[in-house]
Structure 1
Amino acid sequence: MQLKGSHRFPASAHTIFNMLMDADTLAKITPGVSTLEATGEDTYKAIANVKLGPVSGSFSGDLEVADKVAPQSFLLKIKQNSKIGNVSANVQIGLQEVGPEETELSFDGKANLSGLLARTGQRVLSGVANTLTKQFFQALEDELSQTRQHPA
């Protein structure tokens, strides 16, 4: 399944990049993630509860941030397992400043699915992926707003 899209945020690329490199922030803004625990430098154990159309499940696995070029890009490597199937994905994330305090985040990658997930249907999974992406972008925007209202 192809994963591709972009969204503009009212913040510098540095701000967005730093937020995405923070495990606590990432856990808070990623839909379904209940735990994101560091297991090493740029590697994490992730647990997520996700509903995919008529199918829902608890996923457990690894997440790795690779090929970091601050604040322009990084590669997310995801391997998640559940009773309803497994997901393996590599997603390239890019950050491009398009103006003062405005950054476009783009992502491009591919997810490989197995088990019941793979049989659920491309159309259903594409719709779910779009919904999760919108939730992620909205949560990141909300987190940016809170950070601006309550600077650390």
Structure 2
Amino acid sequence: MKMEDSQRIEAPRETVWAALNDADVLKACIPGCEELVKHSDTEMEAKVLLKVGPVKAKFGGKVTLEDLIPPESYRIVGEGSGGVAGFAKGGAVVRLEEDGPDATILHYDVDAQIGGKIAQLGSRLIDSTSKRLAGEFFKTFGETVAPSQSEDEADEDQAEGKKGWLSGMFGKKDTAAEEDA
């Protein structure tokens, strides 16, 4: 299975790089991740619960980071086993490209092989599940690394005492009621 894509993240490249190397951030972003232990700057071990079609399995695996060029790129090499469900092994090249001073484009190119029960499900199901999981990871990763403008603005508005449209409507009613009194 091969998959490549990119995602724009509203954060400087150094911030994105640091997050890509932070076990706590990765654990929070990887769908189904139950445990992620960083043994060194280049070695991690994970336990992930995944459901691919009718097959649900807990995978344990090891990940190694190679060809590190901070804060530009690295290669992830890993393999995992889900017991009777099967195994997966492969790698990904991750590259970070600056997009102005406050944004980064994260490019990834994945090449993986699977075997066992999961491999029997068919490439369409596996490809769609892989794309969905990658999408979930990068959506969560982007939100974790760079909270959206609307969340920041909402926090600022709340701190300044501004109200949203719903509370604004109720606020007008209260104001009108006060004027009538």
Length-normalised TM-score, structure 2: 0.78
Structure 1: runs of 5 or more not aligned: none
Q: Which amino acid aligns with 1:139?
A: T
- RMSD of equivalent CA atoms: 1.8
Counterpart in the other structure of 1:36: 36
Does the 8 Å CA contact 1:3/1:91 hold for their aligned counterparts?
no
Deviation of 1:41 (Å): 3.4
Equivalent residues of 1:76, 1:91 under 8 A apart: yes
Q: Could you tell me how far 1:55 is from its partner in structure 2?
A: 1.4
Note the residue ranges of structure 2 that are not aligned, 5 or more in a row.
Answer: 153-181
Count of residues paired in the alignment: 150
Distance 1:40 1:98, change over 3 A: closer
Question: Which residue identity is paired with 2:63?
Answer: L
User: Pairwise mapping of residues 1-150 of structure 1 onto structure 2 (< 5 A)?
Assistant: 1-83=1-83, 84-145=85-146
Identical columns (%): 26
Contact 2:11 / 2:146 at 8 angstroms: preserved in 1? no
Shift of residue 77 of structure 1?
Answer: 1.0
Q: Secondary structure at the match of 2:39?
A: strand
Q: Is the contact between residue 94 and residue 108 of structure 2 (CA under 8 Å) also seen in structure 1? A: yes
Decide which structure has greater helix share. Answer: 2
**Partner SS state of residue 11, structure 2:** coil
The structure whose RCO (Cα within 8 Å, separation 6+) is larger is 1
Give the TM-score, by structure 1 length.
Answer: 0.92
1:128 positional shift: 0.5
Give 1:145 deviation, angstroms: 3.7
Report the CA distance between 1:14 and its aligned residue.
0.9
Amino acid at match of 1:81: S
Runs of 4+ in 1 over 3 A off after TM superposition: none
Task: Identify, as 1 or 2, the structure richer in strand.
Answer: 1
Measured in 2, the distance between the counterparts of 1:21 and 1:67 equals 14
